[in-house]
Structure 1
Amino acid sequence: MRSNATAVQEALEGMDYPKMKKDILSYAKKHHASENIISDLLDIPDKEYKSSADIRQVFLESERIKEDYEKIDKDIESWKKQ
């Protein structure tokens, strides 16, 4: 995912919950969310989201995974140099 949790939350500001993924996508498109946000929303699990916090959690988890992979890559490069 390219978008951060805060940007997504701002793009969906004012949306009522609960909402299914398809409804979240529709809202984002109607409110002119960026292409990156739309693309990232396409990747979220297809389920009902009860609040903005539910969506935010998906993006926070993705950010943590990305950071973990970056750390692993740095560690591998460091080990190769030893």
Structure 2
Amino acid sequence: MAEQVSTPSYQVYTKGIDYPKSKQEVISYVREHGAPDNVIRVMEEMQDRQFNSAADLARAFGDAKARIEGRR
């Protein structure tokens, strides 16, 4: 079974990110900062849009995580 990812855990990999960023820019940033595959998988499920703040990204991450967990 895939390791669970908590919403706050991804913040380690987004620390220092400058906003606004597109979904793909966020994914590239976290990859460069060593994010594990389970964090990247959740981010790939986020809506393809621009994120203007850490709070904006947190909401999108939480929504994507909830959708993934709902499929189990």
Partner of 2:58: 56
Q: Which shows bigger deviation, 35-44 or 51-60?
A: 51-60
TM-score normalised by the chain length of structure 2: 0.76
1:19-38 CA-partner distances (Å, limit 9, x unpaired): 00010011011111011011
Give the partner amino acid of 2:53: S
TM-score normalised by the chain length of structure 1: 0.68
Of Structure 1 and Structure 2, the greater helix share is in 1
What runs of 5+ residues in structure 1 fail to find an aligned partner?
Answer: 70-82
What runs of 5+ residues in structure 2 fail to find an aligned partner?
Answer: none
> How far apart in 2 are the matches of 1:28 and 1:42?
12
Higher relative contact order (CA 8 A, sep 6+): 1
Q: In percent, how many aligned pairs have the same letter? A: 27
Partner of 1:40: 42
Aligned pair count?
66
Structure 1 runs of 4+ with >4 Å offset = 62-66
Instruction: Report the aligned-residue RMSD.
Output: 1.9
Q: CA deviation at 1:57?
A: 1.0
- Please say which structure displays the higher CA radius of gyration: 1
